[in-house]
C-alpha cells in the first residue's frame, strides 16, 4: 500500500551541488520542474511556511529539509549540509536561527524585500558552472575573494547596485519565462556571468589577502588550520576562526582597541587603503570593500603573529583586558599571545617556579620562607630590616 502522506518524488530531482546553498538548490528544483518558485513552495509545503520572508539558509526546519530530501531522493544529511547551520563546530560554537552569528552576513529584509548585502557571487564561478548555482561560502563575511579563481567577489549588481536576490527572478511574471535563469539581476536584467572579474594580485597586500582566503577555504574543508605564528602546529578550525573573529572585532571596535586599527593604517600606508572607507562597527554587516580593508589588516597582523600586534598595542598603551570579553570564551592561541605580553595585572608564579625558587634558596643556604620566596620572585614581600631599624630608633628615644 502506498503511503499518501509521504512526500512523492518530483519529476525532475536536481541534487545539491558542491557547497550549494539551500535557497539556490530550492530555486533550481522549482525551475527544473517548470514551476514558479512561490507556487512551487506553496504546493509542496502549504501556505503556512513563509520561506522567503525570513533567512531560508539559516533554517533548521526538519519538515522542510525532510520533504526536500525525500522528493529529490537525497540523503537528509546531505540536505542539511546545504544550510548555514552545518557550519556549527567550524565557524561558530553554537548555531542560532536568528540574530548575530559570527562570520555570517545578515540579510536586511522587510517582508519579501531585501535591502541588505548578505549574498555575494563570483562571476567566473557562475560563468564556468555547467549549471550555475550559489555557494554557501558566499554568505560568509570572511570571504571577499574567490579561492578558486582568485578574483574579488561582488555583493551587489555592478550596474544598478541592487542586492543579490537570485530567488526573485520570476517575481511579477504570470507564468515562468521560457529562458528563466538565476544569474540575472531582477532589477536591470544584467547577467552576472558577463561581469568582468577583477583579480586579487599584483602587490604584496593582495597576495597576503589571497593567502588568507585560501587558508579560510582549507580550514572549512578539512576542519583544521595552521596556528598563526609561524609554527607547524595545527589547531581546530573552530579555534582558528574564533580567534580571527576576535581580531577583526578589535580592529572594527569603537572602543580603545580602535587604536590597533589606526596603528595598522600608519604601518601599512594609509594612502593605499582607501582612507575614506569607515570600518567602525559590526564586521559581519560591512559591505565588500570595508571587509576587504579589515581583512588586509588582519592578514598583515597574522603574517608576523604576534609581534606586529604587540608592538602597536604597546605603543598605543593597550592592555590585554581591552581585547577580551567576559561574556564569551577566547581561542587559546589568540588569548595566550595577548595575555603574555599585555597583561598588566599582578604576577602569579606557577607551582614549578615556586619549587625551583625553594630549591635555589636551600642550595645556597638561605632562609626558605614564604616571604623570602616572594622576594626572590619579584612579588610583594615584607622587608624585615624596617622593623629592626624601628626597634633601634625606639631604644634611642627611650634612653
Per-residue pLDDT tens digits for 152-178 = 999 999 999 999 998 887 776 777 766
Q: What is the pTM of this model?
A: 0.84
Q: Positive or negative, the Cα torsion across 36, 39, 44, 47?
A: positive
Q: What is the mean pLDDT of residues 236-265?
A: 93
Q: Which of 199-203, 242-246, 267-271, 326-330 has the highest mean pLDDT?
A: 242-246
**Is the pLDDT reported for residue 215 higher than 50?**
yes
User: What totals of helices (H) and strands (E) does the chain contain, helices first?
Assistant: 14, 4
What mean pLDDT is reported for the chain? 87
pLDDT tens-digit map of 82-105: 999 999 999 999 999 888 999 999
In a 10 Å sphere around its CB, with 0-12 CB exposed, 13-18 middle and 19+ buried, how is residue 218 labelled?
A: middle
**Is the pLDDT reported for residue 6 higher than 70?**
no
For residue 299, CA distances in Å to 200, 247, 269, 343 come to: 14, 10, 15, 24
Provide the b/e sequence for 116-148 (b: ≥16 CB within 10 Å): ebbbbbbbbbbbeeeebbbbbbbbbbbbbbbbe
pLDDT tens-digit map of 52-84: 778 889 988 888 899 999 999 999 999 999 999
Place of cell 578558486: 148
Degrees to nearest 5, angle at CA 293 with 318 and 100: 75
Cα(105)–Cα(91) distance, rounded to whole angstroms?
A: 13
Amino acid at each position: 500500500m502506498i503511503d499518501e502522506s509521504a512526500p512523492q518524488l518530483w519529476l525532475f530531482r536536481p541534487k545539491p551541488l558542491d557547497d550549494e546553498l539551500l535557497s539556490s538548490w530550492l530555486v533550481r528544483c522549482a525551475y527544473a520542474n517548470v514551476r514558479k518558485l512561490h507556487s512551487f513552495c506553496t504546493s509542496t509545503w502549504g501556505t503556512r511556511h513563509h520561506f522567503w520572508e525570513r533567512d531560508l539558509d539559516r533554517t533548521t526546519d526538519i519538515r522542510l529539509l525532510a520533504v526536500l530530501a525525500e522528493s529529490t531522493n537525497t540523503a537528509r544529511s546531505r540536505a542539511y549540509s546545504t544550510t548555514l547551520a552545518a557550519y556549527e563546530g567550524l565557524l561558530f560554537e553554537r548555531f542560532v536561527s536568528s540574530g548575530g552569528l559570527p562570520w555570517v552576513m545578515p540579510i536586511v529584509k522587510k517582508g519579501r524585500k531585501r535591502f541588505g548585502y548578505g549574498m555575494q557571487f563570483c562571476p567566473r564561478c557562475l560563468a564556468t558552472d555547467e549549471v550555475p548555482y550559489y555557494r554557501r561560502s558566499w554568505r560568509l563575511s570572511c570571504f571577499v575573494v574567490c579561492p578558486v579563481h582568485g578574483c574579488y567577489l561582488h555583493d551587489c549588481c555592478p550596474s544598478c547596485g541592487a542586492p543579490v536576490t537570485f530567488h526573485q527572478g520570476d517575481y511579477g511574471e504570470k507564468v515562468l519565462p521560457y529562458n528563466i535563469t538565476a544569474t540575472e539581476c531582477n532589477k536591470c536584467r544584467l547577467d552576472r556571468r558577463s561581469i568582468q572579474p577583477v583579480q586579487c594580485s599584483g602587490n604584496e597586500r593582495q597576495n597576503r589577502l589571497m593567502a588568507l582566503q585560501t587558508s579560510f577555504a582549507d580550514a572549512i574543508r578539512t576542519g583544521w588550520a595552521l596556528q598563526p605564528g609561524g609554527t607547524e602546529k595545527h589547531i581546530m578550525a573552530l579555534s582558528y576562526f574564533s580567534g580571527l573573529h576576535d581580531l577583526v572585532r578589535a580592529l572594527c571596535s569603537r572602543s580603545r582597541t580602535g587604536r590597533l586599527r589606526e596603528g595598522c593604517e600608519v604601518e601599512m600606508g594609509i594612502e593605499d587603503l582607501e582612507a575614506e572607507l569607515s570600518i567602525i562597527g559590526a564586521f559581519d554587516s560591512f559591505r565588500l570593500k570595508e571587509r576587504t580593508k579589515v581583512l588586509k589588516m588582519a592578514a598583515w597582523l597574522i603574517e608576523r603573529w604576534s609581534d606586529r600586534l604587540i608592538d602597536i598595542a604597546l605603543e598605543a598603551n593597550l592592555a590585554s583586558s581591552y581585547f577580551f570579553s567576559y561574556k564569551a570564551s577566547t581561542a587559546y592561541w589568540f588569548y595566550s599571545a595577548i595575555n603574555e605580553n599585555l597583561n598588566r595585572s599582578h604576577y602569579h608564579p606557577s607551582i614549578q617556579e615556586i619549587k625551583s625558587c625553594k630549591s635555589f634558596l636551600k642550595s645556597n643556604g638561605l632562609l626558605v620562607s614564604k616571604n623570602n620566596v616572594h622576594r626572590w620572585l619579584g612579588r610583594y614581600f615584607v622587608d624585615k630590616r624596617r622593623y629592626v631599624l624601628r626597634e633601634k630608633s625606639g631604644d634611642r628615644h627611650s634612653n
